[in-house]
């Protein structure tokens, strides 16, 4: 069979190849193909390997040579709060002066400030802001994004966020996977009646079931937000209804959220800056993925999750951006990878595994995404680099040259206009 597209003369193709979840030392085991090619047919990978792929080329095939470049699977950002209104630079001074994140929330700022702006925003405004963010993420090589609701905390606004996700998924090249997070904070109208809000959330899960607007449910399990017991109640109800379940766990206070997540069968537990050794052991003997968000530690000037220790103990780790207006207002996914390398002490191969096949696994899309293998979606990135370590070492910048999603080119090298010595 001939290909629609062949990319060849690639310096090195790097891809995970083992069956996920990749745990512990498996995370460092990736395939490297030198002087390689990728052949694409109908948006899927037809073949890949060493050589020029000549047998897949005829007069109708588009052929591109990528000498001195590397190719990677598209990055999967498996934890974002993409859809929201406004920004929170007015809290920046307090945050930098050391006012705790949870204190800002308690006085009606933080998440609750964004909730009131998101409630007021039109669908169109939310859509356009999120679309612009997706474009930025795409330029950094992200081809799949998980996007949570949770800035509405009432039926109407949560639904508005979920419908924005649906429209983005239909119209933007990035695949947008929707998650319900009504349990992101307690809304002001229920501050003194959490019990009723919990009941409301369960009713919402039932009501939304028929509408098919999300497959996953997430809860912010944290001191003064949702307790272990409340999280257990909500996620058990969600599970009974057939949803996949996730948690924001042990982000600030070590409550034991990760251990609870394992016992409930969460596909991932996220953040984990304050995880206990006991819960690391529980994770290592489970299929729950530890989803680490180093951009948030960096931005909030907090400690980093013990990802090195987790991998050494046999845990499956993934990395995500946590793009949101409060604790990580940045779409630069490569910076997240570079922080993982520099502060979490992950090897380049572990970083790659953590942004491709492991997030694909916990988002339940590993049959089509997360690695470059015959039959999977042709989602890949051509990088302006000669080896994988270089993109982590040369930090803070964007190394993407081109991005392809389902075989279609969606980012093309953006060139700076030529600047000569006689510019002045
Ligand atoms: O993942 N921890 C809770 N949620 C977000 C922050 C959201 C916000 O501050 O608006 C997070 O860090
Ligand atoms: Fe989050």
Q: Which residue has the tokens 């279609």?
A: 408
Taking the centre of ligand 2 as the mean of its atom positions, its distance from the CA of residue 151, in whole angstroms, is 11
For 293-305, write each residue's pLDDT tens digit. 999 999 988 999 9
Atom 6, ligand 1: residue with shortest CA distance: 327
Distance CA 64, CA 58 (A): 13
Asked whether the predicted pLDDT for residue 423 surpasses 90, the reply is no
Distance CA 68, CA 358 (A): 28
Q: Find out whether 408 and 392 touch, Cβ atoms under 8 Å.
A: no
Q: What is the phi-psi region of residue 114: left when phi exceeds 0, alpha when psi lies from -120 to 50, beta otherwise?
A: alpha
For 196-239, write each residue's pLDDT tens digit. 999 999 999 999 999 999 999 999 999 999 999 999 999 999 99
Mutate to test the pocket of ligand 1, among 85, 322, 323, 328 (most ligand atoms within 8 A of CB): 322
pLDDT-above-90 percentage for the chain: 92
CB of 250 shorter than 6 A to ligand 1: no
For 136-185, write each residue's pLDDT tens digit. 999 999 999 999 999 999 999 999 999 999 999 999 999 999 999 999 99
Distance CA 149, CA 340 (A): 26
Atom 1, ligand 1: residue with shortest CA distance: 322
Distance CA 323, CA 330 (A): 6
Ligand nearest the Cα of residue 294 is 1
Taking the centre of ligand 2 as the mean of its atom positions, its distance from the CA of residue 81, in whole angstroms, is 6
Ligand nearest the Cα of residue 324 is 1
The H or E element containing residue 164 is helix 155-171
Mutate to test the pocket of ligand 1, among 95, 324, 325 (most ligand atoms within 8 A of CB): 324
Domains in the chain, ordered, with CATH? Answer: 5-73+371-416 (2.30.40.10), 75-362 (3.20.20.140)
Phi and psi torsions of 219, nearest 5°: -135, 140
Taking the centre of ligand 2 as the mean of its atom positions, its distance from the CA of residue 80, in whole angstroms, is 6
Confidence of residue 413 (pLDDT cuts 50, 70, 90): confident
Question: What distances in angstroms separate CA 356 from CA 145, 220, 286, 397, 417, one per listed residue?
Answer: 12, 24, 20, 20, 33
Ligand nearest the Cα of residue 222 is 1
Asked whether the predicted pLDDT for residue 417 surpasses 80, the reply is no
CB of 248 shorter than 6 A to ligand 1: yes
- Once rounded to an integer, what is the mean pLDDT over residues 241-253? 97
- The beta strand positions in 293-394, using DSSP E, are 317-319, 380-383
Taking the centre of ligand 2 as the mean of its atom positions, its distance from the CA of residue 320, in whole angstroms, is 10
Closest CA to 133 of 85, 186, 62, 65: 85
Ligand nearest the Cα of residue 296 is 1
Taking the centre of ligand 1 as the mean of its atom positions, its distance from the CA of residue 268, in whole angstroms, is 16
pLDDT-above-70 percentage for the chain: 97
CB of 110 shorter than 6 A to ligand 1: yes
Mutate to test the pocket of ligand 1, among 325, 327, 336 (most ligand atoms within 8 A of CB): 327
Confidence of residue 422 (pLDDT cuts 50, 70, 90): low
Number of C-beta neighbours around residue 299 at 10 A: 18
pLDDT of residue 200: 98
HSE, CB side, 13 Å, CA atoms: give it for residue 246: 31
- Once rounded to an integer, what is the mean pLDDT over residues 352-371? 99
Taking the centre of ligand 1 as the mean of its atom positions, its distance from the CA of residue 168, in whole angstroms, is 21
pLDDT of residue 96: 80
**pTM of the complete model:** 0.96
Confidence of residue 107 (pLDDT cuts 50, 70, 90): confident
Ligand 1: which atom is nearest the Cα of residue 110? 9
Atom 9, ligand 1: residue with shortest CA distance: 326
């Amino acid at each position: 069979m001939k290909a629609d597209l062949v990319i060849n003369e690639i310096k090195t193709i790097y891809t995970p190849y083992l069956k996920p979840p990749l745990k512990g030392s498996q995370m460092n085991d990736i395939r490297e193909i030198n002087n390689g090619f990728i052949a694409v047919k109908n948006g899927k990978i037809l073949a890949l390997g060493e050589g020029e792929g000549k047998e897949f080329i005829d007069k109708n095939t588009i052929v591109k040579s990528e000498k001195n470049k590397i190719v990677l699977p598209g990055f999967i950002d498996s934890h974002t709060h993409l859809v929201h209104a406004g920004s929170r630079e007015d809290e920046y001074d307090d945050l930098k002066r050391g006012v705790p994140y949870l204190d800002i929330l308690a006085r009606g700022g933080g998440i609750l400030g964004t909730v009131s702006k998101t409630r007021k925003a039109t669908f169109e405004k939310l859509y356009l802001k999120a679309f612009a963010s997706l474009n930025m993420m795409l330029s950094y090589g992200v081809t799949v994004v998980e996007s949570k609701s949770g800035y509405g905390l009432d039926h109407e606004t949560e639904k508005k966020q979920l419908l924005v996700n649906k429209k983005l998924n239909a119209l933007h090249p990035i695949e947008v996977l929707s998650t319900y997070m009504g349990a992101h904070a307690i809304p002001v109208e229920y501050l003194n009646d959490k019990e009723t809000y919990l009941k409301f959330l369960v009713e919402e899960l039932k009501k939304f079931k028929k509408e098919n607007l999300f497959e996953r449910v997430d809860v912010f399990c944290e001191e003064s937000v949702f307790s272990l017991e409340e999280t257990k109640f909500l996620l058990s109800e969600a599970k009974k209804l057939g949803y996949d379940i996730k948690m924001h766990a042990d982000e600030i206070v070590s409550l034991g959220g990760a251990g609870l997540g394992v016992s409930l069968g969460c596909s991932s537990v996220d953040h984990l800056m304050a995880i206990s050794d006991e819960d690391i052991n529980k994770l290592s003997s489970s299929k729950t993925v530890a989803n680490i968000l180093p951009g948030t530690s960096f931005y909030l000037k907090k400690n980093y999750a013990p990802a090195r220790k987790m991998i050494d103990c046999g845990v499956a780790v993934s990395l995500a951006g946590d793009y949101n207006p409060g604790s990580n207002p940045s779409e630069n996914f490569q910076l997240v990878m570079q922080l993982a390398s520099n502060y979490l002490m992950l090897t380049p191969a572990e970083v790659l595994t953590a942004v491709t096949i492991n997030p694909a696994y916990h988002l339940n899309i590993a049959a089509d995404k997360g690695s470059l293998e015959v039959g999977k979606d042709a989602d890949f990135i051509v990088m302006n680099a000669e080896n994988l370590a270089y993109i982590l070492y040369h930090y803070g910048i964007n190394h993407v040259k081109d991005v392809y999603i389902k075989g279609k080119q969606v980012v093309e090298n953006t060139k700076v206009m030529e600047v000569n010595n006689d510019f002045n």
